Amino acid sequence: MAFPATRLRRLRKTDGLRALVRETTLAPSHLIYPMFVVHGSDTRTPIASMPGIDHLSIDHAVQEAGEAAALGVAGVMLFGLPASKDEMGSGAWDEEGVVQLATRAIKAAHPDLLVVTDLCLCEYTSHGHCGVLRSDGVVDNDQTLELLARTAVAQVAAGADALAPSDMMDGRVGALRAALDEEGYSETPIIAHSAKYASAFYGPFREAADSAPASGDRRGYQMDPANAREAVRAARLDEEEGADVVMVKPALPYLDV
């Protein structure tokens, strides 16, 4: 039916009508609040590159998670800064690792708050890369998958409601899904960083997470910022492997994707 019988402006006439047919809304319940957690207690250290954001010890993280919940925020995403690092990133799957401790504490205090855990090794490796390095300095994709799977199981065992793998290894979603299912966690969703670009916009985050590579860069496994079609291909592959949610990061420079 065409004009004049159809007049799209009818549904734009009042605030109430516009709200009734609004296709996109943004509310606190649509948001996840990222937190950078550290060992210790009564610690709140400002992050220079992110004014207003702090490194939080677990007690402060629990308090801040409660404040977020009171505002209606859906959940928190935890990034861990371990007290020590090694070549393999073993702190990532340690039962007493900082993310596992923070997850247990937050879920105990706020059981209805969604806790999503970042799943990567870069915060835990002494070299700052997102996986195990071969002798030639290249990240060993398949060996890294085994360690990511161990980390996934440890995080969910600690109470994580969902996992957000950000490592950009090939096949990681399938490896994580298989490991979780084998351990009885078939209902735990995977929120995949499907298109994570090797972007300069990550500079502040790498300071916040203390995860800048000691040598080289991440262009060998993160996505080329010039590629849009590859992002769609990667998202489809993740979906086929069992991802429940796919995302693009950083978001604002890649809204076209």
The set of residues, in sequence order, having a beta carbon less than 8 Å from that of 153 and lying 6+ positions away, is 93, 179, 180, 183, 185
Per-residue pLDDT of 155-189, as tens digits, reads: 999 999 999 999 999 999 999 999 999 999 999 99
Q: Give the burial class of 122: count Cβ atoms within 10 A of its Cβ; 0-12 exposed, 13-18 middle, 19 or more buried.
A: buried
Looking at residue 137, the DSSP 8-state letter turns out to be S
Total-model pTM: 0.92
Helix (H) or strand (E) holding 165: strand 162-165
pLDDT, average across residues 32-51: 95
Residues 142, 148: Cα–Cα separation, whole Å:
10
Structural domains of the chain, with CATH? 28-254 (3.20.20.70)
pLDDT, average across residues 104-117: 98
Per-residue pLDDT of 192-247, as tens digits, reads: 999 999 988 888 888 887 777 777 688 889 999 999 999 999 999 999 999 999 99
Q: Which residue has the higher pLDDT, 13 or 253?
A: 13
Tell me what pLDDT residue 188 has.
98
Give, in degrees to the nearest 5, the angle at Cα 242 between 237 and 248.
55
Q: Lowest-pLDDT range, 58-67, 97-106, 137-146, 214-223?
A: 214-223
Tell me what pLDDT residue 46 has.
95
Least Cα distance to 57 among 77, 47, 43 occurs for 43
Tell me what pLDDT residue 126 has.
93
Catalytic residues, which ones?
Answer: 196, 249
Tell me what pLDDT residue 201 has.
84
Here the tokens at position 122 are 């870069």
CB 149 within 8 A of CB 179: yes
Q: Which residue has the higher pLDDT, 158 or 251?
A: 158
